[in-house]
Chain A
Amino acid sequence: MKTIAGAFALFLLIAVTAYLAFFYAPIERTMGPIQKIFYLHLPSAFSSFIALGICFYANLMYVFKRQPKWDWLGVSAAEVGLAFITVVLVTGPIWAHPVWGIWWTWDARLTLTFVLWLLYISYLLLRSMLEEPDKRALFSALFGIFAFLDVPLVYFSIRWWRGQHPTPVIMGGPGSGLEPRMRVAYLLVWGAFTGLLVLLVNARFKLEAMRADLEELQREVEVR
C-alpha cells in the first residue's frame, strides 16, 4: 500500500516538474528549446552516482555479512544505475547534435560517463556468467568494490588528460548561468529523480527477493 501511494505521489511530482521544466522555466537564450533536455540529463547523472554509492555499500556489506539481502540490493542499485546512466548517454548526443553538429565527443564528462556505463555492464555481465548464487554474490560484490575504487581514478585521469588536450565542454557546468526559474525547476526535477531512484531500487529489490525464492524452490524440485 505504501509503495503504491509513494508511486502515485512520485507520479504527481514528476508531472509537476515536467510542467515546470517545459513551460515554467524560460527558454535558454543561446541554445533554444533543446537545452531543456538538461533537466533530464543532469539529474539522471546524479541519480546514477547515488546508485553507484548504494551498490558499493551493498557490496561491502555482503562480503562481510554474507546475507543475501545485500546481494539483492547490489544488483538492484546496479541495474537502476545503469538505466540512469543510459539516459545520460542518450540525452547527451540528442542535445549535442543540434547545438554542436556532432553526435559525440570525448569530453571529460562524457568519457567518464561512458567508462562508468561499461563498468556497470561488466558487473551485470559477470553476474550472468556465475551460476551458483553464493559465488555469484561474492564475486560480483568483490568486482563491484574494485570497480568503485576505480571511479575516482578514472575521474582524475580523464580530467588531467583533457587538461592536456582541452576540448569544448558539452552542456556547461551545472548552475552555470541558471536563471531563478530554471533553478527552481531544476531542483524539483532533481528531487523527483531521487525519488524515482528509490522507488525503482525498491521494486527491483523485491523482485530479486522473489527470484531468489523461486530459484531455491526450483533447485529443491530438481533434487527430488
Chain B
Amino acid sequence: MSLLSNTSALLGKELRTEVRSRELLTTTVVFILIVIVLFSITLHPTTSESQRLGPGLLWVAFLFAASLMLQPCFLREQTNDTLSALRLSVSDPFAIFFAKMAANTLFLLLTELLMLPFFAGFFNVRVLPVLPQLVLVLFLGSLGIAVPGTAFSAISSQARMRELMLPLLLLPLLTPILIASTEVTAALLEPEPALRLAGLGILVAFDVVFLTALWLFGEYLLEE
C-alpha cells in the first residue's frame, strides 16, 4: 500500500497497456520524423548549418511530439471513469501521477532514442562517441517534459479545446528545458565535444522543482 508499491503497480498497468496497443510509441516516432523532415526540407541546411541548427530542431520536434503524446494520459481514464476507481484504491494520490509520469518519461525517452539514428543521418552529426552523455540529457529533458506534461494533461482533460490547450499550457513553460537541452546537446555534438554542466544543472533544477510541485499539489489536480 505504500507509494512505491502503488506506483509500480500502476506503472505496470501503463506499460502493459502500451505494449498491447503500441499506439503511443508508433505515432510519436512517426510524428517526430515528419517534423524533422519538414524542417530539413524548408531550411535545406548545409552541413555546417545542420550541425548548428540540428539540436534545436530536434528538441523542438520532441516538444511538439510530447505535447501530442501526453494528451491521452488522463483522457483515457475518463472513458470508463477508471480515474475514480484509482482515486478510491490508492493510498496516496501522488502514486497516480508518479506512475504516469514515469511511463511518459520512458515512452518519450524510447522514441527519442529511436530517432537518434535518423537525426545523426539527416544532420551529419556523430552521436556514438557521446552516447552515454546524450542519453543523460535526453533522460533529464524527457523527465522535465513529462512532469508538467502529465500535470497539465490532467488539467486540459477537463477543459474545452483540450487538444489545443495542452500544448498551449505546456510549451511556454518548457522554455528552460528547450534552452538547456538544446545547448547541452549542441555542445556534445561539436567537433570537440564538451559537457555543459551548468545546462545539466538547469535541467536537474527544473525536474526537482516540478516534481516537488506535483507532489505537493497533485491531489488537487484530481478533484472533480
Contacts and interface: CB of A to CB of B under 8 A. Distances in A.
Given A139-B158, A157-B176, A161-B183, A125 B168 contact: yes
Interface string B134-167: 0000000000000010011001001111100100
Nearest to A60: B217
A118 B213 contact: no
Q: Is the interface of A mostly helix, strand, loop or mixed?
A: helix
B199 A146 contact: no
Contacts of B64: none
A150 B180 contact: no
A157 B158 contact: no
Interface size class of B (residues with CB under 8 A): 20 to 34
B173 interface: yes
Interface in B207-224: 209-210, 213, 217, 220-221, 223
A141 to B, nearest CB: 9
Contacts of A118: 172
A148 B158 CA distance: 22
Contacts of A125: 165, 168
A35 B146 CA distance: 44
B202 A157 contact: yes
Contact of B151 (A126, A146, A158): A146
Contacts of B168: 122, 125-126
B26 interface: no
B220 A129 contact: no
A160 B173 contact: no
B199 A160 contact: yes
B60 interface: no
Given A138-B223, A142-B221, A143-B152, A153 B172 contact: no
B206 interface: yes
A205 B194 CA distance: 52
A14 B81 CA distance: 56
A119 interface: yes
A157 B220 contact: no
B160 A131 contact: yes
A153 B199 CA distance: 11
A143 B213 CA distance: 11
A178 interface: no
A138 B152 contact: no
A176 interface: no
A63 B159 contact: no
A71 B165 CA distance: 20
Contacts of B61: none
A145 interface: yes
A19 interface: no
A122 B159 contact: no
Q: Which 3 A-B pairs have the closest CB atoms?
A: A157-B176, A118-B172, A129-B159
21 contacts: A119-B173, A122-B173, A125-B168, A126-B165, A129-B159, A129-B161, A130-B159, A138-B220, A138-B223, A139-B221, A142-B220, A146-B173, A149-B210, A149-B213, A150-B173, A154-B175, A156-B202, A156-B205, A157-B175, A157-B180, A158-B175
Interface of B: 148, 151-152, 155, 158-162, 165, 168-169, 172-173, 175-176, 179-180, 183, 198-199, 202, 205-206, 209-210, 213, 217, 220-221, 223
Interface of A: 63, 115, 118-119, 122, 125-126, 129-131, 135, 138-139, 142-143, 145-147, 149-150, 153-154, 156-158, 160-161, 164
